[in-house]
Structure 1
Amino acid sequence: MSEHRIDGRDRMVMREMRLSVEHRAPDSYWGAGMSAGQASEAVVIPRGAKRTTISDVAREAGVSKGTVSRVLNGKNWVADPTREAVLAAMDRTGFVANSSARSLALRRTGSLALVLGAPATELFTDPNYALFLQVITDELASFDYSLVFMTGATSAARTRLIRFLEGGHVDGMIYLSTTEPRADEFIQLLESHPIPVIMAGHPFPDSDPLPFVAADEDEGGKVLGAHFLERGYRRVGVITTHLETLGSKLRLRAFTDIVGDVVSKDLIVEASDYTVKAGAAAMRTLMDRTDRPDAVYAVSDVLAAGAIEVAEELGLRVPDDVAVAGFDDSTTGRTVVPPLTTVRQDISAIARELVTQVLGAVDGRPIQSQRMPVTLVVRESA
C-alpha cells in the first residue's frame, strides 16, 4: 500500500494492514511515560484484528500485568530498567493503551484500604493489630483520606478483595499480616492491579517481594541476646513461631547468633501461632525437660505471656527460677505480671510511615522500604 498524506502536518503510513501514527496522535494512543517518539513506533491493529492486551505486553516483557499498568499510569515507583523493558515490549507487540481505562486508573478516590491477613476477631486478641488500625485511621484523617477495612484471611475473602480493587474504589493498600505461606499466588493477585501496595512487617518467606515498613527485627534480636548474656543465663530456651516467614527468622537468628552455645536446638520450640495459648503449650514443652532452661526468649509478647502463665502454674518464680522476655512491647507485655522485659517496636511510628509511603506513591513518588528503630525495654521478668 502506498504512502498517503492526510494533511500538511499529519502523516499516516499504512503497509500490510499495519498503521503507524506520528506527530499529532492523541495522548490516548500511548500510556504516560512514553514519549511521542516512542509512541510513533507503536502499532495500531486494524479493525477486525485481535487487539494486543496488557497480558500480551506483560508476557513479552517478562513482568506482571500490574507492572505494565503502573508504567501506563506513569507511576515513578517502577524501576527504570523495568520501565524500559515494558515500553520496548509495547513497541514490539503494537500495544495501544485504552484512554478510558487509563483515566479511570488515574482518578482519585480519597480512600485507602487496610487489609488484615487474619480473621477480624484478631483485632480483639492481638493488641498490635488494634493499634495499627487506630493509628492508620487517625493518620489518614489528617490527609482527608478515608479508610476501608477488609480481611484477606480466606480464599473467599481474597477473591472479594481482588474484585473490590478491580472496582477502583481505593487509591492504595496497606497489607497487615504475620504470615503469608501462599506468597507467590497472593503477590500475583496484588501485582495485577496498578494501585500501590505496601506491607506492614515481613510476612513472606525468605525475602520481601513487595515494599515494606517493619521494625528492625535483626537489631532487636541482637540487643535482647546481649541482655541475656549480661544477666548470665546459662541455659536459654526459645519459643518461636511461623519460621517460614522472614520476620520470625530474623528475630530467632539474630538472638541465637549473639547468645551462642547457651541455646541448643533442643531448647528451641516452635509454637503453633502468635497466641497466649500457643505460647503456654510451647512453655510446657520446655518445662517438661529434665534440663529446664533458666531463661526463655519468646519472639512475641503474647507468646511470652503464655510462658509466664505456665511458670506460675508450676510454682516457678519469674525471674528468680526462670526469666522470660518477649518482643513487641505491646499492651500485653506491659500488663502481664511481672511486667515483661521486651524489645519495643514503635507500632505508631510504623503505622504513620506506612501511610506516608503509600500516599506518596499515590502522588507518584517511589516507595522506600523502611526498617524502623527498636529499643530494649528492661522490666522485672528478665
Structure 2
Amino acid sequence: MSSASPSTVSLVTTPTPRPKRATVHDVAVEAGVSRGTVSRYVNGERYVSASAREAIEAAILKVGYVPNTAARNLVMQRSQAVGFIVHEPHSLFVEDPNIGEILLGANTALSEADYQMAVLIVDSERDTERVARYLSGGLVDGVIIVSARAYDPISRVVERLNLPAAYVGHPPGASTASFVTIDNRGSARAITERLAATGRRRIGMIAAALDRDSGADRLAGFTEALGDRFDERLVEPVALYSYSAGRDAMQALLERAPDVDGVFAASDAVAAGAMEALRAAGRRVPDDVGVVGFDDSAWAKRTLPGLSTVRQPAAGLGRQAALLVLGQLRGEAGAQEVQLESEVVWRDSA
C-alpha cells in the first residue's frame, strides 16, 4: 500500500498597488482652474485671485494633494532651511539658557514661514571646516550666527557665498550682514552705577568673552561707570560665559583683592559661580559683597538671594534675527541693524 506524497502549498501574494499620488492636474480639474494657476498658488506667488485660491484650497483637501517640496526646491534652487550657527563649546550650548531662548525664538519665526532650522555648533577648527563645507553645499538658504568672534572664518565663508545672514551681536569684521543687538555697553554702565550707588568702594568685574563684542562692550560700560575709581587689578578675565569660569575667577579675585565688596559678573551663569565661591569663602551676599549679573536668565532666578541683573530679550533676539534673514530671502531689504531694549532688574544680591 503506497502512501500519498505530502502535498505542497504555494502562497502567492498579490502586491497591494500603491495609491496614486494626486497631482497638480488633479487639483486643477477639481478646482476648475488651469494648471498654471495651481502652480502659482503652490509656489506662493501673489497673482492668484481670491476665488481661485479658495477653489484650489478646497480641491487640495478633496484630492489629497501634497506638494513635492524637494522637486520644487530643486527648481527654485532653495533648500527651505536656515542654518543656526553657534560658536560655543558643546557644554556651554547646554548650560547657557540664553542660547536656548535665542534658538527657540528663531525657530518660531522660521516655522511660521515654513522654513526648517539646521543647528550647527562650532567648537573647534575641525567644526569650522565641516560647517564651511556644509554651507558651501547649498544646504541652507541663509544663516543666523550667534556668539561669533572677531574676524572668524565662518563669517568670511558666509560673505564669500553671499548667503543671507543675520548676527546676534555685531562682531568686528562682519560688514555685509544684518545684526540684532542690545546696548551691552550702556546696560553694563547702568547696572554698575546702580551697584556703586549701594555704597560699594572696591568693585571688581569678572569679564567674560572679551573676544566678542558683547564681552568687550560690557567691560567698556563697567569701566565708564567707575571712572576714576576703576582699578584694572580688580578685573578678572575669563574665556566663557560659564558657571565654572565665574567660580574660579571669583576665587582668584578674592586671593588678589580680599577687600573687594562688589562684583559685576558679565553673565548670570558667571555671577552664580561667583556667588558659590563667595559662600565657600565665608562671604555673605549682599552683606559683605554685592553681586550683579547680566541676562536675566534662569540662572538669575535660581540663585539665593535673587540676582540683580540686566534683562535682555533672548527669544526676541532670535526671532528678529530670523525675520531679518527671511526678509533678505524675499528680497525685501538689504543689511540692517536692529537694537532691542534691555533693562536693569534689581533684586536682593546687591
Q: Same fold (TM over 0.5)?
A: yes
Between the two structures, name the one with larger relative contact order (CA 8 Å, sep ≥ 6). 2
> Per-residue deviation at 1:291?
4.8
Query: Which residue pairs with 1:55 in the alignment?
Result: none
Whether the aligned pair in 1 keeps the contact of 2:145 and 2:167 (CA below 8 Å) is: yes
Across the aligned residues of Structure 1 and Structure 2, the Cα RMSD in angstroms comes to: 2.0
Q: Which moved more, 1:323-332 or 1:120-129?
A: 120-129
Name the CA distance, whole Å, in 1 between partners of 2:258 and 2:132: 51
Say whether residues 1:146 and 2:116 are aligned partners: yes
Can you give the 5+ residue segments of structure 2 that lack an aligned partner in the other structure? 1-72
Structure 1 distance, partners of 2:75, 2:288, is 61
Q: 323, 329, 341: which is aligned to 1:362?
A: 329
- Name the counterpart of 1:129: 99
Distance 1:172 1:189 in 2: 12
Q: Distance in 2 between matches of 1:211 and 1:360?
A: 11
Deviations 1:49-95 (A, max 9, x none): xxxxxxxxxxxxxxxxxxxxxxxxxxxxxxxxxxxxxxxxxxxxxxx
1:167 aligns with 2:134: no
Q: For 1:217 and 1:243, locate their aligned partners in 2 and report how far apart those are by CA, in whole Å.
A: 13
Alpha-carbon distance, 1:322 to partner: 0.3
**Partner letter of residue 241 of structure 1?**
A
Larger Rg over CA atoms: 2
1:238 Cα offset (Å): 0.7
Preserved CA contact (<8 Å) 2:107 2:319: no
Q: Using the TM superposition, give the Cα deviation of residue 333 of structure 1 relative to its aligned residue in structure 2, in angstroms.
A: 1.3
TM-score, structure 1 as length reference? 0.68
Shift of 1:297: 0.4
1:302 aligned to 269, 275, 283, which one? 269
In structure 1, the partner of 2:158 is 190
Report if the CA contact (8 A) 1:105-1:194 is conserved: no
Distance between the aligned counterparts of 1:258 and 1:220, measured in 2?
10
Q: Is the 8 A contact 2:180 2:320 kept in 1?
A: yes
Matching residue of 2:227:
260
How far has the Cα of 1:196 moved from its partner?
Answer: 0.7
User: Residue in 1 aligned with 2:343?
Assistant: 375
TM-score (norm 2): 0.74
User: Which residue of 2 is the match for residue 113 of structure 1?
Assistant: 83
Q: Which residue of 2 aligns with 1:180?
A: 149
Q: How far apart in 1 are the matches of 2:327 and 2:257?
A: 55
CA gap 1:362/1:294 in 2 versus in 1, 3 angstroms:
same
- State the shift of 1:300 in Å: 0.8
* Distance (Å, rounded) in 1 between the aligned partners of 2:241 and 2:152: 23
The partner residue of 2:197 within 218, 230, 240 is: 230
Structure 1 unpaired stretches of 5+: 1-102
2:126 and 2:233 map into 1 onto residues whose CA distance is: 39
1:229 offset after TM fit, Å? 3.0
Alpha-carbon distance, 1:225 to partner: 2.2
Distance 1:118 1:109 in 2: 26
**Deviation digits for residues 163-212 of structure 1, max 9, x if unmatched?**
222222221100112x525x25333222121221211124x35x653432
Q: Distance in 2 between matches of 1:265 and 1:290?
A: 12
